[in-house]
Structure formats: C-alpha cells, structure tokens
Amino acid sequence: MQRSSIVKSLSIAGVVLSLAGIGGPSALAATTQQAPTAITRSTRNADDDAALKALVDQYGDINKTLIPLVGAYNARDLGGYQTADGKWQIRPKRLIRSSNLNGLTNGDKKVLSHDYHVTSIVDFRTPGQIDYEPDQPVPGATSTELSILGPHAFGDSSKHPTLSGDFSGDGSFYVQRLEFGYPAVNGYREFLNKLLTNPQATLYHCSSGKDRTGIATVLVMSILGMSEKTITDDYMQSNEVGGHVEAAWIKEYFSEIKSNYGSMTNYITTLINFTPAQQAKLRSMYLISTDGKKTAYSAPKAPAQVTQPTVVTPATPAQPAPAKPAATPATKPAVVTHQSGAADKPVKKHKVTKAKKKAKIKITSTKNLHTKYTYRLKGNKKWFKDSHLQKVFGHTPKHKKTTWKLVKEEHIKINGKKHTYFEVKDHAGHKAWIDKSYITKVK
C-alpha cells in the first residue's frame, strides 16, 4: 500500500523495546520526542515484522479498524467495538479517529466524504500546528478547532511545531494536561456535545492521532460502555502504524481518575460536566445491538408526570355514608389554631419548600504560600476548582495518602460568615481549593 511509504513513525522494534523497558530511558521521564523515522517496505526487516506481530498478538490487529488512506496513516473507524456486556456495538462509519489531514489526496477526500459520510471534523491541535500543516478540506464537512492544550502550548513557539508529529506523551503529561488541564476539560466537553448534534460521521484528530485523539477516544468508549481492556487495546494500536504510546501512560491516566473521582463515569459527569442524560443520548445515537438485528440502543426515558394519585381507593358501597351534612364547614381543615384558641389565617395543608438561595461568596484577602509537601487532606470532604466555590471537584478520596503543598490562602465570606480556604497542589500538579479544617499537617 502507498500508505506504508509515508508513515511518520518510530521503529516498531524500538517501540516494543521501550514498551518492555529495554534499551533507553523511561518514557515517564521524557518530555520531548525526536522526529520519527519512516519505515517503508524497502527498509522493514525481519525484526520489524516480529515486533509488529508481538504488538498484534497483545493488543489486536489495527487493520480491523484502519481506513486505507494515503495521506492520513492513523485513520480508524471505531465501528464494531462491543460493550463490556457484549450486547451492543458502535455503529460503523460514525466515529472516526485520525492523524492530521494535511496530506489527504483527492481519493482520500472521496473516501471520507462518499464512503464514510464525514460531515464534521474536529481538530484538537494548537493554532500553531494548524497554521503549519492545515487540514485538506473534505467536501461537505465543517471543521471545528478545539485546542486541547490551549492557544499556545509547547512546540507552538518553535519554527516547525509539528516536525515531531504529536506532542510527546508520558504519564504526567496525560494527567496534568489531558486529564485535569483546563483547556482539555473544556475542549473535550465541547467535543462530546458536538457528537450529540451530528447524525452523520464525525472525524476527530490531532497531529499523530495518538495522545489528544487517544484520550478523546477513551472518553467516548467509556461513555458507550466498552471495557477498560478494549479501550486500552485500541489506544495501544497506534504503535502498529509507527506511533509511540506506552501502556504505563494510559494506566496512570486511569489510576489518577479512579483515585480522585472513584470511576471514569464520575469523572466524566463531575469534571467534564457531561451529564448522565447526555451520556444516555450518546449511547442511543452510536450503539446498535450485536444480535444481527442492528437494533438502536434505547435511552432510558424520564418517568411521565402523574397528575392524579396512582393508588385509587375502591368504592365501598356496603358501608353507610356518614350522617353528616354533605357540606362541611370549610374553616376547620383550612385554619390552624394555637393552643390559646386564636386562629391564624388559613394556610395550605402542605407547605411548599422554598428554593435554597445561592450562597453569596466574597474573597476578602489572598496570600501566596511556599510550603513543603507536609499536609494531607481528610477523606470524603468536598473540594473545589476555584476559590469562588462554584465548580465542585467532588469529594476527596477516603484513603488517599498523597501529600500536598499549600500554594495559596484566601479568606472568604460565605453569606457574611468568615472562612479560610487553601489552594493545595500535589506532586503531579493537581490543584484544588479546600476548607482549612480539612487539612492536616503530617508529623
């Protein structure tokens, strides 16, 4: 295939060695990546073939999902992936992950437009990367730019910001920039919302289609119900076309989410702010049954409002009607009488509870701190993204022993009452705001 001659890749054998922890520094310590070396039919050897076979045996064959494009070497259709219970699968030709589209040929454009019905393209790259290698337009498709790393990140300041393909990944990069980073959280939320509006195919990509695109795929497949193994296998298959990802990176990503949020579902609901109703709608749009009937997944419907009591008391004609007059005084049940006998104005039997007013929060003073990692947080206590206490992170882990550094102190008035909140930061760069009373000093 022509694609093999233009793949931007590391040596597949080198990838396998790095996955095994042999022959080089740990990727978890890496912060930059050299420009990959292309592997072509003429340069591949027996070692490369053996390394590729090892990857396929462990993580599955990428050719089952790979779209044969000349100008995008990591384009894959997620259609066919099954949920953990095996009852549902992703619709074909609806969700396509890819490397950048700068090299698309006219034939590639026809494949995406006519064969896969791509009508929406989401580009996760930074503005500098997009300017250097702009996408080739796909007929009939709109394009949306959502920089997952913010407007100016890493390689954007260099002369050639995309020569190394995607930004180098490592465990801390995934956690700090793709899990908790503000641009990533907002970008992925907008991406998921766009998926809810497109009845045709959406293609989403970054530079190499492995890091930013990889995490977008993790989020989508998690919502749709794939198992963690299925998600990890798909993530690792970027190595089969010359990308460089490691199992340790995605493992650390999952681990941090579970430590801080308990589950991927809670992380998506709480931090990404993609609601359970939206998640149910996504499943109804992108899942079909695996029984051969291709039945659409049915999103649970909200219960209908009942205007009358659901329990009807049966008539009891055998009992004689009370000997009281039909019209009883209306004042007795409608008037509340104190022990003194004085009656208040008539009130309804069931008092309507008023909506709770939003707390008034005012920051009165701020102070930067420079403390060491000598503090821990009490478990299951509410913490926040900002000191205005408007965005809740959820609750602190019950048994987490992570130590934290105090980086900022703010005195806050909540409905006129004084409180002290600290911004805390751990060794991985996570930050949150929490009440002073929930912070304990490590002796």
In a domain, residue 76? The reply is yes
Number of structural domains in the chain: 2
- Residues 369 and 282 placed together within one structural domain of the fold: no
How far is Cα 107 from Cα 71, in angstroms, rounded to an integer?
9
Q: What is the CATH number of the domain that holds 226?
A: 3.90.190.10
CA-based nearest residue to 274, from 174, 347, 335, 196: 196
Whether residues 57 and 200 fall in one domain: yes
At residue 431, the pLDDT reads 81
- Domain edge (last residue) among 241, 263, 289: 289
Give domain status of residue 349, yes or no: no
Chain centre to alpha carbon of residue 349: 47
Q: Could you say which residues of the chain have pLDDT below 70? A: 1-47, 152-171, 300-358, 398-401, 428-429, 443
Pair (109, 195) in one structural domain: yes
> Has residue 282 been placed in a domain?
yes
What range defines the domain where residue 117 resides?
A: 2-289
Cα–Cα nearest to 194, from 235, 242, 269, 143: 143
- Per-residue confidence (pLDDT) for residue 146, from 0 to 100: 96
- Residue 397: half-sphere exposure toward Cβ, Cα within 13 Å: 16
Query: Per residue in 64-118, pLDDT tens?
Result: 999 999 999 999 999 999 999 999 999 999 999 999 999 999 999 999 999 999 9
> Which region, left, alpha or beta, applies to residue 273 given φ > 0 means left and ψ of -120 to 50 means alpha?
left
* Cβ atoms 69, 111 nearer than 8 A: yes
What are the φ/ψ torsions at residue 374 (nearest 5 degrees)? -130, 25
| Sequence-separated (6 or more) residues with CB below 8 Å from residue 286 | 90, 91, 94, 95, 195, 224, 297
Among 258, 289, 320, where does a domain finish?
Answer: 289
Asked if 22 and 120 sit in the same domain, the reply is: yes
- Specify whether the CB–CB gap between 247 and 232 falls below 8 A: yes
261 and 406, same domain (yes or no): no
Are residue 82 and residue 208 in the same domain, yes or no? yes
Sheet holding 118-123, edge to edge: 76-77, 95-98, 201-205, 118-123, 142-145
Does residue 411 sit within a domain?
yes
- Do 282 and 371 reside in the same domain of the chain? no
Q: Which of 242, 271, 289 is the last residue of a domain?
A: 289
Is 248 within the bounds of a domain?
Answer: yes
What is residue 378's predicted lDDT score, i.e. its pLDDT?
A: 84
Residue 150 pLDDT: 86
* Residues in the chain, total: 443
Please report whether residue 168 resides in a domain: yes
Q: Are 417 and 272 contained in the same domain?
A: no
Contact 52, 12 (CB under 8 A): yes
Which residue type occupies 265? T
CA–CA separation, 15 vs 34, rounded Å? Answer: 13
Q: Does any domain span residue 375?
A: yes
